[in-house]
Amino acid sequence: MYKVMLVDDDYPVLEYLEQIIPWDELGLLMQGMYDNPLEALEHAKAEMPDILITDIGMPHISGIELIRQLKVLNGELCTIILSCYNDFHYAQQAVKLNVQDYMLKESISPDTITTQLQQLCGRLDAVRESRKQRKQLQHILNDNKAELKQKFLLGTMNNQIWHKEEWLDTLRQYGINYEAHPYLLVLYHIEQHAQTKKNLNMCDDMLMYAVDNVMDEMLEKVEGAISFRYSTKSGFLFIPCRLTVKENGYSLVHDTLKRVQDSLTKYLRVQASFYLGERSGQPRQLKANLLKLLNTLEHRFYLPEGYIGVIKEEEFSKADLFTYFSQALEEIKQLILQEDVQGMEEAASRWMSFVEKERFPPDMVKEWALKLLLDMRVKFKSLQKFQTNYSVEVLHSTMSEIDHTNQLKSWMLVHLEEMLSQMGTIFQQSKRGEISEAQRYVQDHLHQKITLEEVAEYLHLNSSYFSRLYKKETGLTFIEYVIQTKMNKAKELLDNTDKTVEEISYMLGYDNKRYFIQLFKNEIGVPPLIYSRGSDTRRSKP
């Protein structure tokens, strides 16, 4: 809907135009009627109309002058002049201002004004469509340029540079001129990329385009600064960096990156980190500097999100985090069984603080956390009705997106809290609280011999009644559940410790080793010794 402004010092003329123009039929909105051209000018500056219909001879300023001033503000303004004068001088001025029509008031009729407004609407539609096409074309050109720059960057990093003069010429075409100033290389990384796309409802291409636009707009304020895409969630910035008595290049670079970071957060709700590389004035060092900066990314694991600065390469711990696996698994498992949310959060925080303090290799930490959740899932699946919303594939996929310890901690808590919630649901859904109490009792007393009579007495129930009740509620006999739970614990100990079969048998309350071996084989399908050899093979893999 296009907006129309009417201006004439003869108010009856304004009223007549308001009545004869079919506003709804033409899809027009009357923005206002003014008998004072200065008042019309002030309102137009606040809200520009699409079409102006104005008289020429008015007090204060003429219609010609009103059009001239508004055309400065909006060169695409469509105008119709109404006049009592059939004067060539006025018509000549109107032509110079690209006025669409010059109408004598005595010849105005509903048909003539409607026809003229229809033509102006068509003109505005064409202008709007042309602007849309130019914008789309510019989008394509910008996107193609970004892709060409990315291709050039990847070629520089991955291939031998055979034609150096041609390569240097391409660098200059993209705005990188080492002869003018040295550059500080910066690697940027979009944090929580998958979640950011989901929050913004954007695909990879849309998010990259949006990030490029914000970055380029901010970098335009720094002479010679250029951005290059590297992947869907990272790229490189080339920022001029001079070091003189009067100019601290590093400080200026940091300020620039902070402005870019703040703009990404403000306009896109995107958080980015910026890692500073080498300062260099030699193009021949570019490839080595790019690869060196890229290879330091492993060390960002212990840095916070939104970091701006140098990645310090540090030696990771040689110790094996998996030495503490069983301890962590047992502690968190008990807290989930007890439905202790606060205790579980504190335990997760304590273990992550331990990881950060010891500086274990990032891949080892992520593998350790993933195994913790997977083993917990296996353990709780022995309980009736236990389900989870996350498949093994989803766990592996989301783990690959984790770049920092705080992200890993949040990821663990999401899944652990889901398990805790499931556990609470299981216990609440049981038709009889005695079932959940019996299962809790088993989980807490795996180290000793457990009998039906012992648990029935603990629950103050007749043993025969309890046996029938458990079978009816769960589909398993109580003894089958005890054996299943103990054998899953035996698997865990064989997977994560160096305990012998005899030691594990004793730890689970079995005095007879042969009886334990037979139960394990019946439940798992192979004897514990053979299963243990498979565990050794799995643990030895890098």
**pLDDT, tens digit (0-9, with 9 covering 90-100), for 281-292:** 888 889 999 999
Q: Are residues 453 and 526 in the same domain?
A: yes
Q: With 80 as the cut, is the pLDDT of residue 230 above it?
A: yes
Alpha helices in 475-524 (DSSP H): 478-496, 501-507, 513-524
One domain, residues 166 and 277? yes
CATH label of the domain that carries residue 15: 3.40.50.2300
Is 151 domain-assigned? Answer: no
pLDDT at residue 414 in the model: 87
- Are 278 and 165 contained in the same domain? yes
- In this prediction, residue 109 carries a pLDDT of 86
pLDDT, mean of residues 61-78: 87
Same domain, 406 and 476: no
Are 305 and 404 in contact, with CB atoms under 8 Å apart? yes
Residue where one domain finishes, among candidates 310, 339, 362: 310
Q: 91-97: long-range contacts (C-beta < 8 A, 24 or more apart)?
A: 93/64, 94/64, 97/64, 97/67, 97/68, 97/71
Q: Is the pLDDT of residue 267 over 60?
A: yes
Q: What is the pLDDT of residues 324-371, one digit of tens each?
A: 998 998 898 888 878 788 998 999 999 999 999 999 999 999 999 999
In a domain, 140, yes or no: no
Predicted pLDDT of residue 297: 87
Phi, psi of 55 (to 5 degrees): -75, 165
Residue 539 has pLDDT above 80, yes or no: no
Q: Which pLDDT does position 184 carry in this prediction?
A: 92
Calculate mean pLDDT across residues 57-79.
Answer: 87
Residue 356 neighbours by CB under 8 Å, 6+ apart: 302, 405
Biggest distance spanned by C-alpha atoms of the chain: 120
**Is residue 340 packed enough to be buried (19+ CB in 10 Å), middle (13-18) or exposed (0-12)?**
middle
The CATH number of whichever domain residue 494 belongs to comes to: 1.10.10.60
User: Is residue 290 domain-shared with residue 391, that is, in the same domain?
Assistant: no
Q: Are residues 340 and 351 in the same domain?
A: yes
Does the residue 154 lie in any domain?
Answer: no
Q: Looking at the structure, tell me whether residues 519 and 410 fall in a common domain.
A: no
Cα 370–chain centre separation: 22
Q: Quick check: 312 pLDDT over 60?
A: yes
The pLDDT assigned to 88 comes to: 43
Q: How confident is the model at residue 39 (pLDDT cuts 50, 70, 90)?
A: very high
Q: What angle do CA 525, 529, 531 make, to 5 degrees?
A: 50
pLDDT of the residue at 7: 92
Looking at residue 317, its pLDDT comes to 93
Q: Which of 256, 278, 310 is the last residue of a domain?
A: 310
The per-residue pLDDT for range 159-178, each reduced to its tens digit, is: 888 888 888 898 888 888 88
Confidence grade of residue 29 (pLDDT, cut at 50, 70, 90): very high
- Which bin fits 230, alpha (ψ -120 to 50), beta or left (φ > 0)? alpha
Q: State how far the Cα of 541 lies from the Cα of 510, in Å rounded to an integer.
A: 32
Instruction: Tell me the per-residue pLDDT of 297-308, one tens digit each, with 9 for 90 and over.
Output: 889 999 999 999
pLDDT over 90, % of the chain? 38
Residue 67 scores a pLDDT above 50: yes
Say if residues 9 and 35 touch (Cβ distance below 8 Å).
Answer: yes
User: Is residue 135 one of the residues assigned to a domain?
Assistant: no
Last residue of a domain, one of 257, 287, 310: 310
pLDDT computed for residue 139 by the predictor: 55
Q: Is 481 among the domain residues?
A: yes
Q: What percent of the chain has pLDDT over 70?
A: 88
Q: Taking 90 as the threshold, does the pLDDT of residue 33 lie above it?
A: yes
236 with 187: CB under 8 angstroms? yes
> Cα–Cα distance between 392 and 415 in angstroms, integer?
12
pLDDT for the residue numbered 541: 45
pLDDT of 533 strictly over 90: no
Q: State which residues form the domain around 16.
A: 2-128
Which one-letter DSSP state was computed for residue 243? B
Place of tokens 């300023």: 61
Residues 522 and 436 in one domain: yes
Of 118-127, 403-412, 510-519, the range with the lowest mean pLDDT is 118-127
Q: Is the pLDDT of residue 542 over 60?
A: no
Are 425 and 435 members of one domain?
A: no
In a domain? residue 146: no
When pLDDT is averaged across residues 427-448 and rounded to a whole number, the result is 77
Gyration radius from the chain CA atoms: 37
**Locate tokens 């048909």: which residue?**
111
Q: Is the pLDDT of residue 407 over 60?
A: yes
For residues 366-386, average pLDDT? 76
CB neighbour burial string for 86-102, b if at least 16 within 10 angstroms, e if fewer: eeeebeebbeeeebbbb
pLDDT score at 393: 73
Asked if 379 contacts 491 with a C-beta cutoff of 8 angstroms, the reply is no
Mean residue pLDDT across the chain: 85
**347 and 207 share a domain?**
no
**Residue 56 is assigned to a structural domain of this protein:** yes
Quick check: is 138 in a domain? Answer: no
What is the structure's pLDDT at 100?
A: 61
Task: Say if residue 249 is in the same domain as residue 166.
Answer: yes
Mean pLDDT on 369-378:
85
Please count the CA atoms within 13 angstroms of the CA of 209 that sit on its side-chain side.
13
pLDDT of residue 186: 95
Contact 218, 259 (CB under 8 A): yes
**pLDDT band per the 50, 70, 90 thresholds, residue 127:** confident
Residues 92 and 189 in one domain: no
- Number of domains present in the structure of the chain: 4
Q: What is the pLDDT of residue 247?
A: 61
Asked if 182 contacts 279 with a C-beta cutoff of 8 angstroms, the reply is yes
- Burial class of residue 400 in the structure, from the number of CB atoms within 10 Å of its CB (0-12 exposed, 13-18 middle, 19+ buried): exposed
